[in-house]
Amino acid sequence: MMLSNQVHFMKMLLQLCFSGVRSILSKVCSWTFTWVNMTNTRMQRIPSATVSPRFTSNSGQKKSLGVNGTTPSSVNYHFTRQCNYKCGFCFHTAKTSFVLPIEEAKRGLRLLKEAGMEKINFSGGEPFLHERGGFLGEMVRYCKEELQLPSVSIVSNGSMITERWFEKYGEYLDILAISCDSFDEDTNRSIGRGQGKKSHLEKLHKVRNWCKTYKVAFKINSVINTFNVDEDMREHITQLNPVRWKVFQCLLIEGENTGEDSLREAEKFVISDQQFQDFLDRHQSVSCLVPESNQKMRDSYLILDEYMRFLDCREGRKDPSKSILDIGVEEAIKFSGFDEKMFLKRGGKYVWSKADMKLEW
């Protein structure tokens, strides 16, 4: 009788053990399945980099030359490719409509700050287009108030900006750059810088006044091309009095504004190096002018696309790294093609915090 009870007890004990093991295995399988699904979803959201086979390493990414240990002091984040203008030479076109969720974007910005970022520039596309500037405004506030970056700037065509945006977010913004390629409305329209019958120049002056009212440093960006290369802009630039006037030579980028897969055909806008120099010579009396030739532009910018991938433009196209959200800043920046010496040579490091500019508002 005693032996029978002992056998029965042992059977019950074994059943409990097996039941516990099954429960544990079931939970482990469930957790593993969930993790795999999340990973697959993320991989579908952020595409892999397309690279040239002759530049690949064991990891499958394009090798970088001389960028190990680079600090991302100044970063340009093109968080959207969508735009309401159709500039014929645009080199960051609307090839996707993707925009990261705001919390993911903030996570990436924090990673950049931890890696040494001092200045963030938000661009597009047209950055004020997404959520009517609300998304942009929240990132500007986050970078200045929570990350406490020395400099937060924006490049915009100006058309979507409102005074209400300045009232809400102006205190967090150091520099606002407005793109303007001509002071003739017909020339702007020929280039594609315009929308309907709205005056690009009228809005330019309005935004300039808002910058003064809300204490934001005002900047102008101009792309010099066949339509405006003979124009004399000295009087207009002097009147607007920007802290910087960036003058770019029209640049061709394969897959963006030239080549089979491009959304623009910018060949007709291209000018020679001599034509660009002639334009610079004509405007040499403008003290705020900062010239950027094709050579200076190509590898002197740290550019993040909408997936937070660094874009390497050294080969005349945009070869993306993997996203900093997946592999971190230190690894991704190795595939950026960034030339820090050229960045400094073109004047990329300057007084970029409005608190240090000592401007007369």
Which one of the listed residues 17, 29, 87, 143 is annotated catalytic?
Answer: 87
Residue closest to 359 by CA, chosen among 132, 133, 175: 175
First to last CA, the chain: 100
How far does CA 80 lie from the centroid of its chain?
Answer: 8
- Tokens 């806008």 belong to 269
Residue closest to 80 by CA, chosen among 144, 154, 147, 7: 154
Which one of the listed residues 90, 180, 211, 313 is annotated catalytic?
Answer: 90
Cα–Cα distance between 52 and 320 in angstroms, integer?
11
Other Cβ atoms less than 10 A from the Cβ of 190: the count is: 16
Cα–Cα distance between 117 and 100 in angstroms, integer?
20
Active site residue 90: yes
Q: Could you check whether the bond before residue 116 is cis, i.e. omega within 30 degrees of 0?
A: no
Instruction: Give strand pairing partners of 320.
Output: 311
Helix (H) or strand (E) holding 136: helix 134-141
Classify 15 as helix, strand or coil.
Answer: helix
Active site residue 180: no
Order of strands across the sheet that contains 289-292:
289-292, 244-249, 217-224, 175-179, 151-156, 119-123, 74-78, 303-304, 309-312, 319-323
Q: Are the CB atoms for 315 and 52 separated by under 8 Å?
A: yes
Q: What values do phi and psi take at 217, rounded to 5?
A: -65, 135
Which one of the listed residues 83, 143, 180, 250 is annotated catalytic?
Answer: 83
Active site residue 29: no
Cα–Cα distance between 136 and 130 in angstroms, integer?
8
State the catalytic residues.
Answer: 83, 87, 90
